[in-house]
Amino acid sequence: MSTKTQLAVIGGGPGGYAAAFLAADLGMQVTLIDLEKNPGGVCLYRGCIPSKALLHIAKLIKETEEAKKWGIEFGEPKIDLDKLRDFKNGVVNKLTGGLGQLAKQRKVNYIHGKATFTNSNTLSVAKVDGTTEEVVYEKAILATGSVPAKVPGLSIDSPRVMDSTSALELNDVPKRLLVIGGGYIGLELSTVYAALGSKVTVVEMLPGLLPGADRDLVAVLDKRIKSMMENVFTETKVIELKETSDGIQVRLEGSKVTEPEQIFDKVLISVGRKPVTTGFGLENTKVKVSERGFVIVDKTLKTDDPNIYAIGDIVGNPMLAHKAAAEGKVAVEAILGHKVAFEQNAIPAVVFTDPELAWAGITEIEAREKGIKVEVAKFPWGASGRATTLDRNDGMTKLIIEPGTERILGVGMVGVGAGDMIAEGTLAIEMGAVVKDLELTIHPHPTLSETMMAAAEVFYGRATDMYRPKRK
């Protein structure tokens, strides 16, 4: 069987389905190919969405514990893992099923299978029903995403050793869990398992958690994370994993480790992700891949093969769903001949721990590394009325500012709901806003969002809710 299409999209994740749906809306004949029954990709099936469903539960458990301070006491939570999994899976099924319906409504030809390039205009699709279909396309968008990275020398074939995908299956709650990696995935899953009752140890080989994020923001999260975990070891390596009858025997190496050899019921390896750029015939095209395994593209997301575009995790960091979706839309418009380029000034990042940590634009660390002079204005949530009503004064909002012009180059925040608020900072950066724009924008009171306005007031030395000397 052979199918002809104007646009073939390989991969149905946030970037792939965004591209396919926009192309269909703009009148193109579209074929979308993916191994899942419905679009959604890793984000919806095994990443962003199921993890956030579980993090919501974790936050609820934590808040019921803390309610004792406010005079409200609940009994010990009774956790039904089957119902918890059903809730998580229900969320996933609802969203992916909805995307399946949207694909049908848009008359997108959805093929359930794996695509392989035979040349620059043809795909061979091995369908899940055992048949093979040839797809001849005019243009293609490659959106194959990423998979969990492995640690050389620590790969042992055991159900006790998990990656982020198997950890989200939530088969059980181990008594002791080792999480290797202090990045956002490791910390989010640590939060979930700790709330459900696991004694969690986090190991990070670098000097601090969440490398790349500003240290003053991480410090706030660090304090709360450590209160939830059994141990948090930085500058520490896992030398060996060995399965025994009692669990996974682990050998740790680090100056702060007092017990180098320990037994854990399960181990979660979460050391980042790597792009999926092999196994589907790129060698039969003109597409080029970098030494790090990323597909090389220009500002329109076009590869070295004029018929093939690439988006999402396979074209480089940050590996974020919203970045992939934005790239997908740019790629479609470029294919249609519109004058577009992917040149975002700010791509927001959010760590959905408790508290949440979010940033957009340049960070203070990045500015220092690149020799860019910046000014910084911070508003501590200890002075926020809304944060006080939530009993969560542990937050902070900061602005990274260009001296002279007072243009906002970056925004960072840590605290409850930071992920929902960072969009205002992203918009400010993209629009070239200056500090005065934020200061003069009336924010509702009492809200956490007004900490953005307050940080701007701090910059000028006239914050209502705290005292800072005026700028000279």
Outline where 106-257 has alpha helix (H). 164-168, 184-196, 215-228
The alpha-carbon radius of gyration of the chain (Å, integer) is 24
Asked if residue 120 lies in contact with residue 302, where contact means CB atoms within 8 angstroms, the answer is no
User: Partners of 125 in the beta sheet?
Assistant: 115, 133
Catalytic residue among 112, 338, 443, 445: 445
Outline where 295-434 has alpha helix (H). 321-335, 364-370, 385-389, 418-430
Asked if residue 265 lies in contact with residue 246, where contact means CB atoms within 8 angstroms, the answer is no
Query: For residue 468, what is the enclosing H or E element?
Result: none
Long-range interactions of 179-182: CB distance < 8 A, separation 24+: 179/203, 179/267, 179/268, 179/270, 180/151, 180/154, 180/238, 180/267, 180/268, 180/269, 180/270, 180/271, 181/269, 181/270, 181/271, 181/272, 182/206, 182/208, 182/209, 182/210, 182/211, 182/232, 182/234
**DSSP-derived 3-state class of residue 150:** coil
Q: What are the distances in angstroms from CA 128 to CA 13, 43, 142? A: 18, 21, 20
DSSP structural state of residue 471:
P
Residues 6+ apart with CB under 8 A from 200: 176, 177, 178, 179, 190, 193, 194, 228, 229, 230
**Closest by CA position to 344, among listed 368, 362, 365:** 362
Active site residue 445: yes
Phi and psi dihedrals of 304, rounded to 5? -70, -10
Helices and strands, counts by H and E, the chain:
13, 21
Q: Is 95 exposed, middle or buried (0-12, 13-18, 19+ CB in 10 A)?
A: middle
Query: For residue 235, what is the enclosing H or E element?
Result: none
> Mind telling me the catalytic residues?
445
